[in-house]
Structure 1
Amino acid sequence: MSNTNIAAKAQYVGFKADHVGSFLRPERLKQARQKFAQGKISHEDLTQIENEEILKLIEQQKQHGVKAITDGELRRAWWHFDFMENLLGAEGFDEQEGYKFHGVETKPHQVRITGKLAYNPHHPHFEHFKFLKDALGDDATHTAKMTIPSPNMFMQRKIRINDVYGNDLQQYAEDLGQAYQQSIRHFYDLGCRYLQLDDVYWAFLVSKQRHDEAEKFGDSTEEIAKACVKTLNIALEYKPEDLIIGMHICRGNFASAWIYEGGYDSVEDYIFQQIENVDRYFLEYDDQRSGGFSPLAKLKGKNAEVVLGLITSKVEQLEDKQAIIARIHEAAEFLPLTQLALSPQCGFSSTEEGNRVDYDAQWKKLELINEIVAEVWEQ
């Protein structure tokens, strides 16, 4: 259940058309990041270009009916590492191999634990959110939405097993949860009222990769899942009543490729019944890899929504409107329409490379979502 008050619910429940957060990087920004990496422009020059492109993106979102405005994650190279490596006790580094998606491999970057995990009051993402919030000003029809990786992204084995914590999963979960709890409070104090936690790890827990890992190392999926619940509940324990929390689960999103497959069935009790204070579940449902809708019944009667990720961000081709509407009504057999909403299954650019779609395709997808929402919910 969530402690979110009625006024906050009334405001954000209207976002039946939503999105996951990241947008394709404009060519000007790609070139600027390349020049910065080559030492041809300063960090100040890069920041100025980022600022200008984010202001343009804000206007583009407004023009295409987006109510929850993000900075598109335009300042990030990765959707998760940029946040993770700036917590105290963590650092980023380049390893020998990247993540292997279907048909493509990422850059070889990773995060490691170097000390006790803790909140960083000088985390750069705080200033990133402040810029977004200030840019929106007193606009009452839009809200600044912040997206950060879930603390569970630290549960990956190559990060979780380290020289600082050893195999002490409970202390690891405790410190991780506390670091996020304080970080979330800092975002709130800066004016954030809509925060999304991106959590690919739940999809990993139902995947073949997790089954293989468990066989190889002998650790318990159930024990790790319980630690994930503990971490999130600590992170959200003192969530203010007017802060909306979203949690996004997908199966990998890099250069239009994916990495995991498996339904929500085996983790439905953890994510829908044991985690507290999540208001909106952004769930990937754009193809058969995500399983069926029956797990959604676990949320019936609760005060949380499911934002159905039925529109893919991985290909340009627009979905058939009536086919999507039919799937929404199929989902409504398990959870009432009042508790459902619609979005893409993931962002359009989880890393700076972006999905293999044309820049304008992302806006056409969002326009389609608006059309479907108007037909299904706003009659």
Structure 2
Amino acid sequence: MTKTLVKAPFKADHVGSLLRPDNLHQARKDFKEGKITALELREVETQEIKRIVDKQIEIGLRAVTDGEFRRRFWHTDFMEHLNGVEGYMPENGYKFVGVETEAYDVRVTGKISFNPDHPHLNDFIELKEIVGDRAVAKMTIPSPNQFFNAGIRNEEIYPDIEDFAKDIIQAYRDAILAFYDAGCRYLQLDDVYIAGLCAPELPFAKSDLERDKLIDLALRVVNGVLDGKPEDLTVTTHLCRGNYQSTHAFEGPYDRIAPNFLAKEKVDGFFLEYDDERSGGFKPLEHIPADGAQVVLGVFTSKSGEIEDKESIKARVEEASKYVALDQLCISPQCGFASTHHGNILTEEEQWAKLKFIVDVSKEIWG
């Protein structure tokens, strides 16, 4: 088999999720009410995925996703289909700034392992067939560290957190190979947990471990997952501070985790949020090795449709290049446009305009 090395992430890239159109919202409602079948819902999803794939390619993006159109939430849809995990409705959702999320989460019910019939495998295969050779099909899944959020680990099944970590690592190693065998060459791990370790107060988590021990454990988990990955598989990580209906969950610069994660995480690229002051400055980027990961600066916001000032964006990229070489930098929105099915507060037209703007600005910076 001939291996083609993917040069991702790209100078103009995006995190993954896109706003769901009204007819998809309606189809999901009709399915929930028993008015249409699962097959009919999937047909609507497929038609909309074909449309947005065409649109992404039309505006010049080289990495193309399915917009996460077959998911309700960016993380739980993947997690609940692992063996030993179930989805459920807790009493409350997560606390974001000014809003509480829709109540849904996952919990461990048995020993964790990868399910070879995981539905996201077929979702990716269908996406890759739709994309063909026109662009690179990108798959996004939650980071293994999302399992360390409060309330997920069952301490009767996993009294030792190291045993818990060991099974998560193996499940994700099996998942990565399964996606690779399905043709995936660009995989992204979305990680709110690691970004949360930067926050003044830990979000979504309560632990008797010291924060430095949590940072060490999280790094060991993700690097354990990546150990021995195929050479021609590009894996990036997206560090997110929460993205729900245009709100965020917490703040905090990357300073606290930079000497560990930015210096030592074995990924090919970091998608980092830099759309406003809650992200801090670029100085933590100095920990990224010169021959290390690409850095995708999320200097555009997905939380509103307002187009950023081009010269200000160029100036910020120039500022970041003081710490990481320009040819090691890329640009993108700070997060997806719809991390959950609700979506952020902007129109689809504004979403496409912003993504097209990012492509255009990238050409002016890098040629």
Partner of 1:3: none
Q: 1:36 aligns with which of 31, 42, 46?
A: 31
Deviation at 1:181, TM superposition (A): 0.4
* C-alpha distance in structure 2 between counterparts of 1:109 and 1:12, whole Å: 33
What count of residue pairs does the alignment treat as equivalent? 365
Partner of 1:228: 218
Q: 1:95 aligns with which of 81, 90, 101?
A: 90
User: Aligned-pair RMSD on alpha carbons?
Assistant: 1.5
Change (3 A) 1:26 1:284: same
Deviation at 1:306, TM superposition (A): 0.3
Partner of 1:106: 101
Deviates more, 1:251-260 or 1:368-377: 368-377
Structure 2 residue 9 is the aligned partner of structure 1 residue 20: no
Secondary structure, counterpart of 2:257 in structure 1: helix
Q: Can you list the C-alpha shifts for 1:220-278, whole angstroms capped at 9, x where unaligned?
A: 112222111121112111110000001001100000000010011000122122322x0
Change (3 A) 1:212 1:319: closer
Q: 1:72 aligns with which of 62, 67, 70?
A: 67
Q: 1:306 aligns with which of 295, 298, 311?
A: 295
Whether the 8 Å contact between 1:300 and 1:336 is mirrored in structure 2 is: no
* C-alpha distance in structure 1 between counterparts of 2:195 and 2:228, whole Å: 26
TM-score of the pair, normalised by structure 1:
0.93
Aligned runs of 1:105-124 on 2, under 5 Å? 105-124=100-119
* C-alpha distance in structure 2 between counterparts of 1:194 and 1:333, whole Å: 28
Deviation at 1:218, TM superposition (A): 3.5
Partner of 1:146: 139
* C-alpha distance in structure 2 between counterparts of 1:145 and 1:259, whole Å: 26
Partner of 1:261: 251
Secondary structure, counterpart of 2:189 in structure 1: strand
Structure 2 residue 340 is the aligned partner of structure 1 residue 340: no
Deviation at 1:213, TM superposition (A): 6.0
Structure 2 residue 348 is the aligned partner of structure 1 residue 352: no
Change (3 A) 1:211 1:111: closer
Partner of 2:315: 326
Secondary structure, counterpart of 1:248 in structure 2: strand
Partner of 2:175: 183
Partner of 1:58: 53
Deviates more, 1:202-211 or 1:330-339: 202-211
* C-alpha distance in structure 2 between counterparts of 1:218 and 1:303, whole Å: 33
Deviation at 1:104, TM superposition (A): 1.4
TM-score of the pair, normalised by structure 2:
0.96
* C-alpha distance in structure 2 between counterparts of 1:209 and 1:299, whole Å: 25
Structure 2 residue 165 is the aligned partner of structure 1 residue 173: yes
Whether the 8 Å contact between 2:148 and 2:205 is mirrored in structure 1 is: no
Partner of 1:8: 5
Partner of 2:237: 247
* C-alpha distance in structure 1 between counterparts of 2:214 and 2:116, whole Å: 28
Partner of 2:286: 297
Deviation at 1:336, TM superposition (A): 0.6
Whether the 8 Å contact between 1:169 and 1:227 is mirrored in structure 2 is: no
* C-alpha distance in structure 2 between counterparts of 1:89 and 1:218, whole Å: 24
Deviation at 1:317, TM superposition (A): 0.8
* C-alpha distance in structure 1 between counterparts of 2:104 and 2:203, whole Å: 24
Deviates more, 1:218-227 or 1:67-76: 218-227
Secondary structure, counterpart of 1:120 in structure 2: coil
* C-alpha distance in structure 2 between counterparts of 1:182 and 1:218, whole Å: 30
Deviation at 1:7, TM superposition (A): 6.5
Deviates more, 1:203-212 or 1:314-323: 203-212
Deviation at 1:211, TM superposition (A): 8.2
* C-alpha distance in structure 1 between counterparts of 2:204 and 2:8, whole Å: 40
Structure 2 residue 367 is the aligned partner of structure 1 residue 370: no
Q: Can you list the C-alpha shifts for 1:312-342, whole angstroms capped at 9, x where unaligned?
A: 0001111101001100000001111011000
Secondary structure, counterpart of 1:360 in structure 2: helix
Q: Give aligned-pair identity as a percent.
A: 46
Unaligned runs of 5+ in 1: 1-5
Deviation at 1:299, TM superposition (A): 1.2
* C-alpha distance in structure 2 between counterparts of 1:279 and 1:355, whole Å: 28
Counterpart of 1:195, as a letter, is: L
Whether the 8 Å contact between 1:113 and 1:162 is mirrored in structure 2 is: no
* C-alpha distance in structure 2 between counterparts of 1:250 and 1:356, whole Å: 18
Deviation at 1:285, TM superposition (A): 0.4
